[in-house]
Amino acid sequence: MRVDLGRRLQFPQVVQTTLRPDAVLWSEEVKKLILIELTVPWGEACDQAFEGKKLKY
């Protein structure tokens, strides 16, 4: 994680990672980035899938 402590950081347009969200919404105009991660488990696997997603990121 990078933070801005007393200086202006420049973040790259493209970042290499093995983790891939299902969708990314990026607005230069309003300076917002939204990551969307979809999980559609069946029934009782819902809690396990949610915990797995939390641990992954």
Q: Which of 25, 49, 21 is nearest to 37 (CA)?
A: 21
The model carries a pTM of: 0.41
Residue range 2-56, pLDDT digits in tens: 555 666 766 667 777 777 778 888 888 998 988 887 766 677 777 887 788 788 7
The CA distance from 24 to 21, in Å, is 7
Quote the pLDDT of residue 11. 66
**Where along the chain do its domains lie?**
23-56
* pLDDT in the model for residue 2: 52
pLDDT for 23 equals 85
